Structure formats: C-alpha cells, structure tokens
Structure 1
C-alpha cells in the first residue's frame, strides 16, 4: 500500500469522524433537552456547547484515525519493520 494513500485515508477517516461525532451528539435526547428541546425551554443549558462539544469534536477526529493507524500497522502497512533496511 502506498504511504500517500494511507495518509489520505487517515485524513478522510478523521474528517468523517469529526463531522459524524457532533451529529450523533446533537441527535441524543440529552443534548436536545439541554439545547431547548425541553418543555418551554425548561432546563435549557447552553453551557454544553462549551463543555461537551469540543471534546466530542476532538474525540470524533482523533479516535477514528487512531483505530485506522492501528489497523494499518497490524495489517502490515507502510513503515512496518519488514520494510526497513538498516
């Protein structure tokens, strides 16, 4: 496998995770209640945008690329020990 293809794949997976994680977070019942989905805005707390959204976004970007990197290493992708000549 080409090293550029692996790098591009990691970027695509990271981008997909960074987009998907906040969408999944926004679709949860708990988040909808905090963002005004409660009865007459009861319990509305916009603090979740500061306290929960950044970690969700970062985890969505980082976790998929870490799993992708581990899979590439386990499946013998570029840069494994057999390719090194020293």
Structure 2
C-alpha cells in the first residue's frame, strides 16, 4: 500500500513537469491585427519563424511591416507565457 502511494505521488509530481516540457517544445503562433504577419515562438518566447502575407506585402510601408512584426511577435510570446502557467 505504501509503495502504491509513493508511485502515485511521483506520477502527480511528474505531470506538471511533463506539461512544461511539452509546452516548451510547441511552436505557438499569432498574427498581427491586419493578417500581414504570422510569428511562431518556442515555449520560452524565442522567435522561431516569421511568415509575411505576400498578397499584402507590396501594399504596406516598411514601418507598417515592422509594426505588424512586433505586434505578432508580442502576441505569440504572450500566448507562450500563458501556456507555461
């Protein structure tokens, strides 16, 4: 009985750690408000990928593209932080 409880408690302690590891390996994505840029980040917030909507790209100023990239990156990082809670 005591061994059974120990095994159960070890499993309970490992579950949150396993979830954190799984979340850290996931790529979390988000877009800016205009759908111009999509950014993917790792669970720790590191930017892994950036995709730009080619249909809209030619119609925006560089400063707007930069703002869209920042907005999408911040949104993806925010989502990644929420997964780690």
Q: TM-score, normalised by structure 1?
A: 0.44
Please report the TM-score for the alignment, with normalisation by the length of structure 2. Answer: 0.44
- Give the structure with the higher percent strand: 2
Decide which structure has greater helix share.
Answer: 1
